[in-house]
Amino acid sequence: MISTSEWARGVIAAGFQGETFDPALPAFGAYVLFARNVSSLPQVRTLTDALRARNADETPPLIAIDQEGGRVARLRHEVEPMPSMMALGAVGDLELAGRAGEQTAFDLRRAGCTLNFAPVLDLALYRGNTVIGTRSLGSDPNAVAELGAAFAAGMTRGGILPCYKHFPGHGATPDDSHLTQPAVDAGAATLRARDLVPFAAVARHAPAIMGAHLVVRAFDDRHPATASTRIATDLLRRELGFDGAFVTDCLEMSAVTGDIATSAVAALNAGADLLTVSHRIDVALEIVASVESAVRDGRLSLDRLRQAYERVNRLRDKAQTPLPLDEFPPHPGVGREIARRAVTLVRGRSHVDPLTTIAVSFEGDIAEGINVRASAGESLRREAPALSEIVLPLDPTDAHLVEAFDAIAESGRRPLLLARRAHLHAAQARAIERVAGDYGDAVVVSMLEPFDIPLFSAAKHVLAAYGDDAAAIGGLADVLFGGSFPEGRLPVNVDRDP
66, 93, 249, 273: the active-site residue = 249
- With the CA atoms of 473, 475, 479 and 481 taken in that order, what torsion angle do they form, in degrees rounded to the nearest 10? 50
166, 178, 213, 279: the active-site residue = 178
- Rounded to whole angstroms, what are the CA distances from 213 to 197, 208, 247, 283, 475? 19, 16, 11, 18, 35
Residue 317 known to be catalytic: no
Determine contact, residues 212/285, Cβ cutoff 8 Å. no
DSSP class of residue 172?
Answer: T
- DSSP H or E run through 188: helix 188-193
Picking from 200, 202, 183, 184, the residue whose alpha carbon sits closest to that of residue 192 is 200
The 3-state secondary structure of 463-476, one letter per residue: EECCCCCHHHHHHH
Residue 249 known to be catalytic: yes
- Residue 76: other Cβ atoms inside 10 A: 14
Determine contact, residues 244/208, Cβ cutoff 8 Å. yes
CA distance 455 to 358: 21
Q: Phi and psi dihedrals of 60, rounded to 5?
A: -60, 150
Q: Cis omega before residue 119 (within 30°)?
A: yes
Instruction: Give, in degrees to the nearest 5, the angle at Cα 206 between 101 and 148.
Output: 40
Classified as helix, coil or strand, 389 is strand
Picking from 197, 241, 257, 264, the residue whose alpha carbon sits closest to that of residue 14 is 264
- Rounded to whole angstroms, what are the CA distances from 464 to 76, 124, 158? 23, 15, 31
* Burial category of 282 from C-beta neighbours within 10 Å (exposed 0-12, middle 13-18, buried 19 and up): exposed
CA distance 115 to 407: 49
- Rounded to whole angstroms, what are the CA distances from 50 to 25, 43, 197? 11, 11, 40
- DSSP H or E run through 202: helix 197-202
CA distance 109 to 122: 26
Q: Phi and psi dihedrals of 245, rounded to 5?
A: -90, 125
The residues, any chain, with a CB within 8 Å of residue 477's CB and separated by 6 or more, are 380, 383, 384
Catalytic residues: 178, 249
